[in-house]
Amino acid sequence: MLTNTNTSSIEQGTTSKLSFPNTSTGIINSNSIGNANSRYSPSNFYRAAAVAAATSDPNNRRYMPSTPWSKSNCFGENFKFEPNSLFCSTIDDNFIRQAEALTKPESSSLYYPSPFACSSANATASSSSSTNAYPGSSSIESHLLSDHNQHNHHAQFNSDLHPFYQRQYAAAAVGVLPGMVVGMHHHSVVGSLVPSHELDVDPRELESFAERFKQRRIKLGVTQADVGHQLSKLKMPGVGSLSQSTICRFESLTLSHNNMVALKPVLQAWLEFAEAEMRQRKKDEMNGTMIGLSGHISSSGSLIDKKRKRTSIAAQEKRFLESCFIQQQRPSGERIAQIADKLDLKKNVVRVWFCNQRQKNKRLRFAAGQSA
């Protein structure tokens, strides 16, 4: 309740969109999570959150009212130059050259340790979550967190370096929510212009829940994949099954905050259900009764399996991409093509790489805000 309300993170323009017509139904009901039928459809709730996040995140601004001088900022996200411009090639060359410089340290007198040195946060597994969920953050990550590169030259009016989450959580410093009721709130005022959403869940609450969840899950002897499958047995409105990946990500807090918030009640419900079931089973065993529950009858293999192939980007190529990313997180289609060409990768692969990188970066900001 604190968070977004008094934080400027939600900007006026979009605020109006933030009124959730079906807030009272809760996140889950208004959105089908992990439903096989409809893969994913952002609910108004999610949407609003997304918009809010996007709007408050300087990095997400594709367009800023272009001021004449903004054109001198060739590396700015907002800068859009004409394909024909004479400058263009020069600028792009510089762009590529810089990326190369970062990639090949030998060529320059200075040694640049790969900024993306260890991009994996797998250390998370150690679950030292009580303090910092992402102890493995490397230099690049912190570098990216502060986004220097985006706002290098003149700081326009958006140059505030405050990452969304940092702002958000700073405001929410003092957790208020009981946490148990998450996502199930409801305001009496439907059309209220006051952006009183329930997105503000204390991250620490989520963190501890995730940790408890994992422990209890393990105690139940259930795998992440099992949880995902069993979820559909709950018949929660709009909730289908989830993948092992998602459960894993929930436990390791590698989901977006909103995603965590949305999933929490669902997983909590499952946990309670599973534990109750467990108790019941024990009781029944005592009575000599057998209950056939959760017999995991694996589905038969389908005949038509067109396996999705995952292209793997080589380390060197990846390093180049990372260098590019440091310079510009949202490269234009043209630049993407350029990069793709240079790396001999499909343009779409490069585009998706950037998309994923941005998502990842956002999560890291989240973590950063958390530890703050």
- Which residue do the tokens 């967190």 mark? 145
Does 263 participate in binding DNA (rule CB under 7 A)?
Answer: yes
- Say how far apart CA 4 and CA 196 lie, in whole Å: 8
Minimal distance in Å, beta carbon 110 to DNA? 27
Does 305 participate in binding DNA (rule CB under 7 A)?
Answer: yes
HSE (side-chain half, CA atoms, 13 Å) at 97 = 7
Q: Please spell the DSSP secondary structure of 182-250, one letter per residue.
A: TT----S-SS-SS---S----HHHHHHHHHHHHHHHHHTT--HHHHHHHGGGG--TTB----HHHHHHH
- Say how far apart CA 113 and CA 49 lie, in whole Å: 37
Candidates 3, 256, 327, 370; binder of DNA (CB under 7 A) is 256
Backbone angles phi, psi at 178, to 5 degrees: -65, -25
Taking CB under 7 A as the binding criterion, the range among 3-11, 170-178, 288-296, 305-313 that sits at the site for DNA is: 305-313
Nearer to DNA, 96 or 247 (CB): 247
How many of the chain's residues bind DNA (CB under 7 A)?
67
CB atoms within 10 A of CB 233: 14
Using DSSP's 3-state secondary structure scheme, residue 324 falls into helix
Does 197 participate in binding DNA (rule CB under 7 A)?
Answer: no
Does 166 participate in binding DNA (rule CB under 7 A)?
Answer: no
- Say how far apart CA 372 and CA 365 lie, in whole Å: 10
- Say how far apart CA 21 and CA 85 lie, in whole Å: 47
Minimal distance in Å, beta carbon 292 to DNA? 26
User: What residue type is assigned to position 198 of the chain?
Assistant: E
Binding mask 316-345 for DNA (x = CB under 7 A): --x-----------x--x--x---------
Does 246 participate in binding DNA (rule CB under 7 A)?
Answer: yes
Taking CB under 7 A as the binding criterion, the range among 98-106, 239-247, 268-276, 296-304 that sits at the site for DNA is: 239-247
Does 138 participate in binding DNA (rule CB under 7 A)?
Answer: no
Does 133 participate in binding DNA (rule CB under 7 A)?
Answer: no
Does 255 participate in binding DNA (rule CB under 7 A)?
Answer: yes
- Say how far apart CA 312 and CA 349 lie, in whole Å: 10
Minimal distance in Å, beta carbon 297 to DNA? 17
- Say how far apart CA 259 and CA 46 lie, in whole Å: 8
Minimal distance in Å, beta carbon 280 to DNA? 27
What are the residues binding DNA (CB under 7 A)?
33-34, 38-42, 46-47, 49-50, 53-54, 59-60, 62, 119-122, 124-125, 224, 228, 240-246, 248-249, 251-252, 254-256, 258-259, 262-263, 305, 307-313, 318, 330, 333, 336, 347-349, 351-356, 358-360, 362
